[in-house]
Structure formats: C-alpha cells, structure tokens
Amino acid sequence: MRKVLAVMHKEWLELRRERWLVATTLLMPVLLTGLPFGLLSTASASTTNLGPIADLPMFQGFTPDEIVQIVLLRQFLVLFLLMPLYIPSTIAAHSIVGEKVSRTLEPLLAAPLRTGEILLAKSLIAALPATLITWLCYAIYSIGARFVAISGRVYTEVFTQAWLLAVILWVPALAMISVALGVIISARTSDPRTAQQLTKIVVVPLLLIFFAQLAGVLIIDTIVVAGTVVPLVLLAAGSLVVATRLFDRERILIRWN
C-alpha cells in the first residue's frame, strides 16, 4: 500500500502544477453548476410552455412556476452523475498517457511496482478529485437552489434523500468505472494520442443513465440507489481487475513511441 500512496503522492504533486489541465477539468463542473441558476432566473410559467407535464399526477398541487423550477432543477441533477464520468477520464488519460509521452514510463516500469499498484494509484488519483469536485458542486447546487427556489416545496421535491444517496454512493463508483474503462482503452491502443481521444468516448455508454432518467425510464428513488450500489461497486472493481490484466507493459513500452 505504501507504493500505491507514493505513486498517488507523486501524481498529486504533478497534478497541482498542471494548471492548464486543472483549469480545463474544472471548467465543466463550474459551468454545469452555474448554468441551472442562469436558466432558472429567466424561466417562469409565463415564458415556458409546460404542456401536458403540468397534468402529471406528481405535480398535482404545485403552481405552474413551481413546476417549471422542479423540472429544471431535476434535469440538471443528472449532470452530477456525468461529472464523475468525464472528470477522471481527462485526469487518467493525462496520468497514464502522459508518462509515456514524457518518457517517464520506462523507469517506472523498471522499478519494483506491480501493474495493479500503478493502476490502482493512478485510478484513485483520478477518481478522488472527480468525486470530491462532484460532491462539492452538488453541495453548491443544492445550497444555491435553496435561495433560488420559490418555495420550500420545490426544494424538498427535487433534493430528495434518494438523490443525496445517489450522489454520495454512485459518484465514486462511476468515477472508478470511468477510469478503469479509460485504462482498458489506453492499454489496447497503439499510440498515446488515440488513447487520449478514446478515453473521452468511453463515457458515452454511461450516458444511458442520463437519458434513461430524462426519459422517465429510470426513476431514482432510495430503492433504486440501494439496489444498484453493490453492482456498481462490483463493476468498478471488476473493471479495474480487467484493466490490470489488459495493461500489457511490454506492448505499451514498445509500441508507444
């Protein structure tokens, strides 16, 4: 474990000095957290055509302005499940591919480090900031929503215990899955640039959650969250194991020139 912590410490020191990477990584969370408030300030029942949504049973008893706010605030909640997919893929791609580009990978592989130790450290250092940033953004979003919401009913309707649980429990698992899939892609590509591009694509299948929720196919309640946490954690662990098996040190050393 000491070696894993050593690699993580080294990665953290490097990450702190990568200002451009930090800036581009933080841009999306900042935008996604701020955007809803901008929209909410202009959206109201008089400017928005609610159509049949207003007649849904779940909105019975709410005013049209409250319904507009509930719909908007809820839609943006899903974006907090996208952050842990996007952020770590950028950091992980930089972390793994960057070692090869800067020619530091060979001395690292020549040291007594197991592939699992390298990948665990690099995955954690990518997943941890992603998780913390997402949690922080969610906290800002929920606190900001308190001030923007036109009634307490709007707030309690959107920021449910189920969503809080989902953000707390799903986000770390999704971040680890994203990193592991990024590593798998990195391990199977022949050059660093391709790996960097493909690690972005890896989040696409995981967007299914986003669209399923938007389409109403997936309703996030406490039962759904509790029932999916263990499979997600297992998927994250399994992805990391597969990534470790597929990470062919020799191939990467020889073919990534």
| Residue numbers at the binding site for another protein (CB under 8 A) | 2-3, 5-7, 9-10, 13-14, 17-18, 102-114, 249-250, 253-254
Contact call for residues 21 and 98 (beta carbons, < 8 A): no
Q: Please, what is the minimum distance in Å from the beta carbon of residue 108 to another protein?
A: 8
Token pair recorded at residue 248: 């062919």
Sign of the torsion formed by the C-alpha atoms of 239, 245, 251 and 257: positive
| CB closer to another protein out of 7 and 176 | 7
Q: Please, what is the minimum distance in Å from the beta carbon of residue 251 to another protein?
A: 9
DSSP letters of 184-214? HHHHH-SSHHHHHHHHHHTTTTTHHHHHHHH
Token pair recorded at residue 117: 């130790």
d(CA 11, CA 91): 10
| CB closer to another protein out of 60 and 257 | 257
Q: Please, what is the minimum distance in Å from the beta carbon of residue 100 to another protein?
A: 10
| CB closer to another protein out of 2 and 57 | 2
| CB closer to another protein out of 78 and 93 | 93
CA torsion 86-21-11-140 (nearest 10°) is: -60
Q: Please, what is the minimum distance in Å from the beta carbon of residue 125 to another protein?
A: 13
Q: Please, what is the minimum distance in Å from the beta carbon of residue 192 to another protein?
A: 15
| CB closer to another protein out of 10 and 188 | 10
Contact call for residues 127 and 176 (beta carbons, < 8 A): yes
| CB closer to another protein out of 13 and 204 | 13
Q: Please, what is the minimum distance in Å from the beta carbon of residue 180 to another protein?
A: 23
| CB closer to another protein out of 107 and 216 | 107
d(CA 134, CA 203): 16
In degrees rounded to 5, what are phi and psi of residue 247?
A: -75, 95
d(CA 163, CA 5): 32
Q: Please, what is the minimum distance in Å from the beta carbon of residue 13 to another protein?
A: 6
Token pair recorded at residue 241: 């194991």
d(CA 177, CA 237): 8
